[in-house]
């Protein structure tokens, strides 16, 4: 399977797991806690498969950048958390960095 497709799956699972962690209310609710732990386990397993072919720095940059953007959007729309201007500028810079890596870095090609 394509490493970048596996990476996308890992990111989605990580975002779901993080959302469930928030819903677990400090791990006091068993089902969201269990879902979160399972999601983290699966996403790290997928990330380990990705790192067999994608350089670690590239995989982690994409993982963390896309994950931050997605979880920030979930926080905004699902958990009704606010993003101030500094947060939005920072997220924009993260997106720009991920795009630069993918479009211009030879290290991202395997």
Domain boundaries, the chain: 3-108
Mean pLDDT value of segment 26-37: 97
Of 6, 3, 7, nearest in space to 65 by CA? 7
How far is residue 64's CA from residue 27's CA, in Å, rounded to a whole number? Answer: 23
pLDDT at 34: 98
| Residue 108 in this model has a pLDDT that exceeds 70 | no
Q: Which phi and psi angles does 15 have, rounded to 5°?
A: -65, -40
Residue pair 19/71 in contact (Cβ under 8 Å)? The answer is yes
Residues 6+ apart with CB under 8 A from 44: 10
pTM score, two decimals?
A: 0.86
């Amino acid at each position: 399977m394509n490493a970048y497709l596996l990476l996308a799956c890992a990111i989605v699972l990580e975002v779901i797991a993080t959302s469930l962690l928030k819903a677990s209310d400090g791990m006091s609710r068993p089902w969201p806690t269990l879902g979160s732990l399972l999601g983290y386990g699966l996403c790290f397993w997928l990330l380990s498969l990705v790192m067999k072919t994608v350089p670690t720095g590239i995989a982690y940059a994409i993982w963390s950048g896309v994950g931050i953007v997605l979880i920030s959007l979930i926080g905004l729309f699902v958990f009704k958390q606010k993003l101030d201007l500094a947060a939005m500028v920072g997220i924009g810079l993260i997106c720009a960095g991920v795009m630069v890596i993918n479009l211009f870095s030879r290290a991202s090609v395997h």
